[in-house]
Amino acid sequence: MDAMERRVFLKGASMGLLAFTVGGIDTLMTPGEARARAVPFRLLNGEEAETLEALGEALVPGAREAGIAHFIDQQVSVPPGEALLEARIVNVKPPFMNFYRAAIGGVDRASTTRSGKRFAALSASEQHDFIDALRQNKINGWQRPPGGLVYFVLRSDAVDVVYGTMEGYESLGVPYLPHIAPDKRW
Amino acid sequence: MATQAKLEEKVDVVIAGAGASGSTFAAVLARAGKKVVLIDNGPDWQLTDLISSDLWGRRIKPAGPPFILEGKQVAPIGYHGGWGVGGAALHWFANVPRLLPNDFRIKSEHNRAHDWPIAYEDVAPWYDKVADDIGISGDARAEQLWRPAGRDYPMPPMKTFKNGEVWLKGFAANNIRMVPAAVAMNSVDYKGRPACIYDGWCHVGCPIGALANPQVTYLGEARAAGAEVRAWSTVTRVLTDASGKKATGVEYFDRDGEKHVQPASVVVCASWAAQNPRLLLNSATDKHPNGLANASGLVGKYIMTHFTAVTNAMFDDDLEGAKGTIGGQFMSYERYAKTAHKGAFGSTLLVCGGAAKASGLTGIHNARPDLFGPALADFMKRAVKDFTRFTAACEEQPKIENRVELVTEKDEFGMPLARIVHNYDDNEAALWNANFEEGLKIARATGAKEVWQLRTAMPAIHLMGGTIMGTGADNSVVDSFGQTHEVPNLYVAGPGIFPTCGASNPTYTIFALSLRGAENLASNWGTIAG
């Protein structure tokens, strides 16, 4: 990593912020702040973002407000080597957007087939039942990526934005104990 | 992408990969006065890059590695692999159990698998030397319950925490003696590096130098002795002369896609058990039509892993689970005999007391992967205080069907991707289940209020084999120093040269074998380098 990259990286990490584009200008903020300010998505379309927020919230309460859709949207827009996504740990092949687009599309197609509604429109108990079937690879007609993998990765993403930050540790009452502190939320 | 290669000035040694093994070779040879170049495909990570965060910690791991994973229990690549200078040893857990004497003679004693061409006694002095070089904390005399005496570790054992201590009652009730875990971390200040502060972020990289990553050990020494590191550069072929009997250097591509040729008197492939076979297979010539150093047909074969049987528990106590070190506080070789468990073959290493964070692959949420929604939120609140686990790490036996092989699809440099096929067999399943059964007995004897295990999939950790050592080209790729049988000035370093893998975490043995191989190369330079 050259000096310029390292400075940029450390600036983002130490401030606990990601670069979101507002009015054509890259601005550092948390995904939750990006959501609150309705920052436009870079790659997700409106329906994809809506589904992703609904999935995240059903997986880990608080994920919607923490900005899971903005987090993933920002992360799939950067080079794979820069990404902070659990997807890279489980050998998902870049570009990571392909995985998320296929996963979100698969969820909405299956939800519509099962219930006549997209996932975001399901009731809480319907969403629960859907996810329970997804994690066990029991969605009829589901294709790739594997349902269990989609569940694992999206659940990890939701855990990341809700619990994986300094703020998340604080909400659990756990000391964060950083060496090099992501001194706000990351 | 340029097609005309830029010819670099010849060096004594070129090393593909700047992780644990490459750094060790580099340190020894640079100190011996050799001109050394390390070439690594990722960033030149510095300690200041190691942010204490499971999210930011993913940046030091592979992103889209060039491997297609197949089999029922796929090879561990994403979490266990390295990317960039320091390699996987930049984020290793730093558990340093040794292999034991029985690991070196499985064929002789049990008519299974392979014997090593060397004995424990050949490696033991190098274990001792590595301990002094990189700094190990532990109680070597306590380990004499199970292994021959060696030197004391240079530092006393690490501090322990409740999340490890609560298991001791259960182990004792099952006649399992636990000793302080040997770890490559500083329990006290050592060689100018500070003592550990037990923040539990070892797995995303220790930026204070209390944990012995390459940057603060052999790689730092190599650089101080003049070794050059070329980051963001990907070696795609080892080059040989017209006779096919001598390596002449490597071909690599830099970050801008420019092709280079780096001539060298000696080539060391130190790119991990997955990439080294890929590199050798892609270095085929008319003299080596099946891949370089592959007359045996064994390049890429006998890929091995460890698998874990984890027992989880909740206690009525605040165990301060986020504190400590990620690796472990106590360990035992009590089940290390190959026939320790009736009906199953293979060693088991028991470890307890690793820190558990709130996110990441080893985060507490993944102790109950079935939970989501409000049930997960409730579990998280309880588990951050009450949760702990212990791990039985188990030995896989080498199987020729577990392999790395090239496929037709190519990467950005025109190098074929590789497929890694990996499966466990019935014996491994039996060993896994036996450890689960014993794990329940241990946990129930602790007085834990909840005990559970995940038996849905056998998790593979660590990657070894693929370029195994042996007595000749009829049964192996390299000798015990890592020198290939067919091309004397070509070495392979790292866990790929293990012919069997025991149940002990591999990195200590990687350091020891690399130190032994590098010292032998330095001592016989004139003969080998020609």
- Give the pLDDT confidence of B462-490 residue by residue, as tens digits: 999 999 999 999 999 999 999 999 999 99
Interface probe with A: pick from B69, B79, B359, B379, most Cβ of A within 10 Å: B359
Structure confidence at residue B3 (pLDDT): 67
Q: Are strands B6-7 and B348-352 parallel, antiparallel or unpaired?
A: unpaired
User: Mean pLDDT over residues B193-202, rounded?
Assistant: 95
Exposure string for B242-264, b = 16+ CB within 10 A, e = fewer: eeeebbbbbbbbbeeeebbbbbb
Q: Enter the tokens of residue B386.
A: 């009450």
Structure confidence at residue A34 (pLDDT): 93
Q: Is A74 helix (H, G, I), strand (E, B) or coil?
A: helix
Give yes or no for a cis peptide into B194 (omega within 30° of 0): no
Short-list B145, B98, B188, B124, CA closest to B507: B98
CB contact B254 to A (< 8 Å): no
pLDDT per position as a tens digit, A66-85:
999 999 999 999 999 999 99
Q: What is the 8-class DSSP label of residue B89?
A: G
Q: Which residues of B touch A174 (CB under 8 A)?
A: 322, 358, 384
**A184 located within any domain:** no
Q: What is the 8-class DSSP label of residue B73?
A: S
Going through B156-218 in order, the beta strands assigned E by DSSP cover 179-180
Whole-Å CA distances, B75 to B95, B125, B472: 20, 32, 27
Residue B448 near residue B315, CB atoms below 8 Å: yes
Phi, psi angles (nearest 5°) of residue A23: 60, 35
Q: Which residues of B touch A62 (CB under 8 A)?
A: 377
CB atoms within 10 A of CB B169: 14
Per-residue pLDDT band for B85 (boundaries 50, 70, 90) equals: very high
Select the residue of A62, A159, A182 nearest B56 (Cβ to Cβ). Answer: A182
User: Mean pLDDT over residues A38-56, rounded?
Assistant: 96
Q: What is the mean pLDDT of chain A?
A: 88
Boundaries of domain holding A25: 3-172
Rounded Cα distance, A117 and A139, in Å: 15
pLDDT of A186 higher than 50: no
| CB within 8 Å: B323 and A152 | no
User: B201 Cβ partners below 8 Å, 6+ apart?
Assistant: A177, A178, A179, B52, B53, B57, B326, B357
User: Which chain B residue's Cα is nearest to A172?
Assistant: B381
Which residue has 């875990």 as its token pair?
B181
pLDDT of A16 higher than 80: no
CB contact B374 to A (< 8 Å): yes
Residue B265 near residue B489, CB atoms below 8 Å: yes
CB contact B497 to A (< 8 Å): no
CB contact B15 to A (< 8 Å): no
What is the helix (H) or strand (E) element at residue B463, kind and residue range? Answer: strand B460-466
Q: Residue B190's beta-bridge partner residues?
A: B193
Give one DSSP letter per residue of B469-487, joined into a string.
B-SSTTT-SB-TTSBBSS-
Rounded Cα distance, B69 and B52, in Å: 30
**A146 located within any domain:** yes
User: Mean pLDDT over residues B430-446, rounded?
Assistant: 98
Rounded Cα distance, B394 and B392, in Å: 6
Sign of CA pseudo-dihedral B506, B511, B514, B516: negative
Give yes or no for a cis peptide into A145 (omega within 30° of 0): yes
What is the helix (H) or strand (E) element at residue A28, kind and residue range? Answer: strand A25-29
Q: Enter the tokens of residue A21.
A: 């584009």
Secondary structure of B277-313 as H, E, C letters: HHHHHCCCCCCCCCCCCCCCCCCCEEEEEEEEEEEEE
Short-list A136, A168, A128, CA closest to A152: A136
Rounded Cα distance, B425 and B511, in Å: 30
Task: Tell me which residues of chain A, numbers 53 to 72, contact chain B at a CB-CB cutoff of 8 Å.
Answer: 58-62
Q: Which residues of A touch B207 (CB under 8 A)?
A: 179-180
**A25 located within any domain:** yes
CB contact A97 to B (< 8 Å): no
B113 Cα to chain A: minimum distance (Å)? 30
Give percent of chain B with pLDDT exceeding 70. 99
User: Mean pLDDT over residues A52-76, rounded?
Assistant: 97
A92 Cα to chain B: minimum distance (Å)? 6
Short-list B423, B402, B464, B430, CA closest to B339: B430
| CB within 8 Å: B199 and A179 | yes
Amino acid at A158: A
Helix-strand-coil split of chain B, %, nearest 5: 30, 25, 50
pLDDT per position as a tens digit, B23-79:
999 999 999 999 999 999 999 999 999 999 999 999 999 987 789 999 999 988 888
Q: Is B276 helix (H, G, I), strand (E, B) or coil?
A: helix
User: B328 Cβ partners below 8 Å, 6+ apart?
Assistant: B93, B95, B164, B181, B183, B351, B352, B353, B354, B391
Rounded Cα distance, B445 and B212, in Å: 35
Q: What is the mean pLDDT of chain B?
A: 96
**A32 located within any domain:** yes
Select the residue of B52, B322, B373 nearest A180 (Cβ to Cβ). Answer: B52
Q: Is B137 helix (H, G, I), strand (E, B) or coil?
A: strand
What is the helix (H) or strand (E) element at residue A20, kind and residue range? Answer: strand A18-22
Rounded Cα distance, B214 and B21, in Å: 9
Whole-Å CA distances, A15 to A32, A49, A78, B98, B199: 14, 26, 18, 41, 20
Rounded Cα distance, B46 and A11, in Å: 15
| CB within 8 Å: B359 and A160 | yes
Structure confidence at residue A7 (pLDDT): 35
Q: Are strands B460-466 and B301-314 parallel, antiparallel or unpaired?
A: antiparallel
Structure confidence at residue A150 (pLDDT): 98
Task: Tell me which residues of chain B, numbers 447 to 476, contact chain A at a CB-CB cutoff of 8 Å.
Answer: none
A75 Cα to chain B: minimum distance (Å)? 11
Using a cut of 0.80, tell me whether the model's pTM lies above it: yes
pLDDT of A10 higher than 50: no
pLDDT per position as a tens digit, B142-162:
999 999 999 999 999 999 999
**A177 located within any domain:** no
**A41 located within any domain:** yes
Interface probe with B: pick from A119, A155, A180, most Cβ of B within 10 Å: A180
Q: Is B460 helix (H, G, I), strand (E, B) or coil?
A: strand
Task: Tell me which residues of chain A, numbers 5 to 34, contact chain B at a CB-CB cutoff of 8 Å.
Answer: 5-6, 9-10, 13
Whole-Å CA distances, A52 to A5, A102, A159: 30, 12, 14
Give one DSSP letter per residue of A86-137, joined into a string.
GGGTTTPPSPHHHHHHHHHHHHHHHHHHHHSS-GGGS-HHHHHHHHHHHHTT
Short-list B199, B370, B392, CA closest to B310: B392
Sign of CA pseudo-dihedral B11, B17, B18, B21: negative
B508 Cα to chain A: minimum distance (Å)? 24
User: A59 Cβ partners below 8 Å, 6+ apart?
Assistant: A131, A151, A154, A155, A158, B372, B373, B376
pLDDT of A185 higher than 80: no
Q: Which residue has the higher pLDDT, A182 or B307?
A: B307
Q: Which residues of A touch B370 (CB under 8 A)?
A: 135
Rounded Cα distance, B83 and B61, in Å: 5
Q: Which residue has the higher pLDDT, B48 or A52?
A: A52
A41 Cα to chain B: minimum distance (Å)? 21
Rounded Cα distance, B141 and B143, in Å: 5
Domains of chain B: 6-529 (3.50.50.60)
| CB within 8 Å: B48 and A180 | yes
CB contact A84 to B (< 8 Å): yes
Q: Which residues of B touch A182 (CB under 8 A)?
A: 51-53, 56
Q: What is the 8-class DSSP label of residue B466?
A: E
| CB within 8 Å: B61 and A178 | no
Counted domains in chain A: 1
pLDDT per position as a tens digit, A99-154:
999 999 999 999 999 999 999 999 999 999 999 999 999 999 898 899 999 999 99
CB atoms within 10 A of CB B12: 17
CB contact A159 to B (< 8 Å): yes
Which residue has 């899971």 as its token pair?
A68
Residue B59 near residue B52, CB atoms below 8 Å: no
Write the burial class of residue B484 (CB in 10 Å: 0-12 exposed, 13-18 middle, 19+ buried).
buried
Please give the torsion angle defined by the CA atoms of residues B85, A178, B158 and B504, in that order, rounded to the nearest 10 degrees: -40
CB contact B205 to A (< 8 Å): no
Q: Are strands B259-269 and B247-253 parallel, antiparallel or unpaired?
A: antiparallel
**A98 located within any domain:** yes
Which residue has 């791991």 as its token pair?
B61
CB contact B380 to A (< 8 Å): yes
CB contact A172 to B (< 8 Å): yes
pLDDT per position as a tens digit, B362-402:
999 999 999 999 999 999 999 999 999 999 999 999 999 99
